[in-house]
Amino acid sequence: MSAAALEAFVAEAGRTGNASSLHSAGRAARRTVEESRESVAAALGARPSEVIFTGGGTESDNLAIKGIFWGRRSQDARRTRVLVSAVEHHAVLDPAFWLAGHAGAEITLLPVDGEGLVDLEALRAELAAHADEVALVSVMWANNEVGTVQPVREVVRIAHRYGVPVHTDAVQAVGQVEVDFAASGVDALTVTGHKLGGPVGVGALLARRDLPLEAVSHGGGQERGVRSGTLDAAAIRAFAVALGEAAAAREERAATLGALRDELVAGVRRVVPDAVLRGPDPHATTPSGAPARLPANAHFTFPGAEGDSLLYLLDSAGVQASTGSACQAGVPQPSHVLLAMGVSETDARGALRFSLGATSTHDDVTRLLAALPQVADRARAAGLVAARPLSGGVA
């Protein structure tokens, strides 16, 4: 958490008051919540009434996917199709496939190219063929693994021609690239606090007031009746403070992180020449001139090495990175994002994502580059041993 967000959290956490209560302490908590709502709306180009506070990105995505699906289907029973990009976070993919298994939804995964960019022609074709059956489209603003910035405004233009609402998971994008709810035209947008210097366990779904949105949790009817539960005023205030800071410092921080990212990418290519950068080129831009890749993201695959081995060896050297892959039932799986991009399963297993943040420095990059060659060699050696067939009899 940033210093300002932590200070705000501690100050509010020391007060009593339920924002749904009518006594003086409750009204004070409500004031904190509503002032925070105004701050979040201002930072993201939305109206305060469009901000629904949640427990974080996963809850916001579930509310969007399930809530819009049920809301649209209640208006028209034919609306059973959900179109999502093949590289979405599991917080979008899993509720979509849950709807397929429990609520009669039909899921279409929109393909992506080799850099993780969604295929707009496939979207057009799906909508042209099934417009009357589509409940919603969900395409993330920027990918959490390879950093690809998606053409969200074009997705909106295509979908809205057919009267289909669009949700976008902007968890990774907010604070790194410009995110404006109203200007983008999206109908619902997910944001979370812990990616911005705020606390874990708080976020928001921005949703147009006229968007059909059914409740996923039920109870006291808070947050427009679609997200019941006592509001965490301390976390909400800290989230609003962190988001305001991130929005104000975005351009300067993006330039700083982008320069560090470029240093990291060039260094990895120098010390491990066969490492492959995945996602758009760091200096590529969209047709509008915006960055095609998040400034804080560098994602590589290392041939012959397992991502988990790389991760643990780097961790022992004081470098914390991520494989970016899902782990189901304790068994590491190759990244669905890389597989959708056409990367082979073998290569996808050797993935590492390096993420930079507000506290990252040149020394951090130097430390990574010093440790990486030996780590890559040891991980490859471990992979060869694991792949070697056992000799002798059958145990």
Q: Token pair for residue 148? A: 């690809």
User: Between 250-271 and 233-248, two packed helices, what is the crossing angle to 10 degrees?
Assistant: 80
- Alpha-carbon gap, residue 375 to 306, rounded angstroms: 11
Which of the 8 DSSP states describes residue 177? B
CA dihedral of 342, 301, 365, 201, whole degrees rounded to 10: 60
- Alpha-carbon gap, residue 192 to 77, rounded angstroms: 32
- Alpha-carbon gap, residue 158 to 185, rounded angstroms: 11
Answer yes or no: 327 catalytic: yes
Secondary structure of residue 144 in the 3-state scheme: coil
Q: Token pair for residue 298? A: 């560098």
Nearest to 366 by CA among 264, 295, 277: 264
Nearest to 349 by CA among 375, 373, 371, 323: 323
Among 11, 327, 381, 384, the active-site one is: 327
- Alpha-carbon gap, residue 202 to 60, rounded angstroms: 10
- Residues recognised as catalytic: 327
